[in-house]
Structure 1
């Protein structure tokens, strides 16, 4: 999840859901030249862009449950042979990881401001956190828009140091932000990640109407027909279960990228 910036005044705190920061308040009186610079391509503070291919808001889909798994805060496409794992923070489920063969995509949805997107700012934060760890980050325009392709330092099972290749993708929606973390072969060879990218694009986000501060995670739930699998049970031992994993089997590998 993301580190939330502290606000410098009561006015700014009251405007959390509008996404107005103290820096932006200070810039309200700046000249037109400065404003034009702030509106340059890729700058923060811009409204969410169009999403002609998804991900979708719940208001944009007639039947979100058709062909998708209901996780409460998101509906994710069901794909034959996939393994679904959930990840928790305290007592709340905040992320879902879909594993397909030798690749995986972790999905997390967050509340966002009403009138601006946060993906640009989030990319900067993620990149800064990884470089502080000694990793390498490239910002590229991929099939899902601007993304980060990172080499994250990790310790290998034999105790030696190595790197994990990870792709961070994100899309700003109406009052929500959806982040995907692609790992495995889909990060090593991005051209092979087409199915994971389709899953990300066809995900439906359920933001809800309750007030939420920007960057608060949208809480998920277990699907109704999920079967809990104890740690160590392999997918081919699940006797045809549609889902494996669950709160008893957390896989936090993609979360190596968390910025706190």
Structure 2
């Protein structure tokens, strides 16, 4: 599968200098945009910056005209990512775990690479697939990741997704946002306030599956 998004341009020189002078304080992310993190080519979707992996098929997930998440396809598996605004004083994962357990039956809670996670099944389009629900609480944001399909039960496939999540950068921004409001995303060739250049007749950014299990 090919990655349908262009890679993000490297950080501006002054940003690179800041990152080089302040080494990351953790071994891996997901990273907050305002904390020191490894500089690399990333796909810039506004609220999320994703590591580039040529084997992944990356699509924006939309509700109406709003881009609310990302779907990554690889090895008969999928990864859904959604970044939400969170309170400054506390995280959301414990609360969202309870909501998931209410909506999805027969889930097992276990420890994973990001702490507590849920393992069970995901039902979409009338089909049931094995699934892992992972949550990461950040500063004023929460990142929900749902791995479904082969990668939910095969660690050799899951490893590629876990490494991907560990290098995601979340851009919360300073704008006031309601609790659990999706952090806005955009196509990588769109700039704030306008459209970027796009070649005539080429529209690789077709809409991917909706992220509809958790609202």
TM-score (norm 1): 0.63
Task: Tell me which protein shows more strand as a share of its residues.
Answer: 2
Structure 1 residue 221 displacement after superposition: 0.5
Flag the structure with higher helix content: 1
Q: CA deviation at 1:191?
A: 4.8
Distance (whole Å) between structure 2 residues aligned to residue 218 and residue 130 of structure 1 = 24
Deviations, residues 140-168 of structure 1 (Å, cap 9, x unaligned):
10122111112235665xxxxx6311111
Alpha-carbon distance between aligned partners in 2 of 1:155 and 1:171, rounded to the nearest angstrom? 27
Helix, strand or coil: the match of 2:55? Answer: coil
Paired with 1:83 and 1:94, the residues of 2 have a C-alpha distance of: 17
Q: Does 1:98 align with 2:72?
A: yes
How many angstroms apart in 1 are the aligned matches of 2:123 and 2:60?
24
Distance across 2 between alignment mates of 1:99 and 1:215: 25
Q: Where do 1:157-172 residues align within 5 Å? A: 163-172=128-137
Counterpart contact for 2:45–2:188, Cα < 8 Å: yes
Hey, what's the Cα distance between the residues in 1 that align with 2:124 and 2:59?
Answer: 22
| Count of residue pairs brought into register by the alignment | 181
Q: Say if 2:93 and 2:142, in contact at 8 Å, map to a contact too.
A: yes
CA contact (8 A) 2:61 2:70 kept: yes
Cα distance per residue 1:109-160 (max 9 Å; x no partner): 00000011110110111111112xxxx211110122111112235665xxxx
Give the structure 1 partner of residue 94 of structure 2. Answer: 120
Q: Does 1:146 align with 2:116?
A: yes
User: Which one of the candidate residues 26, 30, 38 is aligned to 1:55?
Assistant: 30
- Verify the 8 A CA contact 2:122 2:148 in the aligned structure 1: no
Cα deviation, residue 183, structure 1? 1.2
Q: Which residue in 2 is equivalent to 1:47?
A: none
* Residue number among 194, 204, 207 corresponding to 1:249 in the alignment: 207
- In structure 2, the gaps of 5 or more residues are 1-24, 190-196
What value does the CA root-mean-square deviation take over the aligned residues?
2.3
The 8 Å contact of residues 130 and 257 in structure 1, kept in 2 or not, is answered as: no
- Quick one: distance in 2 between partners of 1:150 and 1:98? 19
TM-score (norm 2): 0.76
Does the C-alpha gap of structure 1 residues 51 and 216 become closer, same or farther in structure 2, counting only changes over 3 Å? Answer: farther
Alpha-carbon distance between aligned partners in 2 of 1:125 and 1:51, rounded to the nearest angstrom: 29
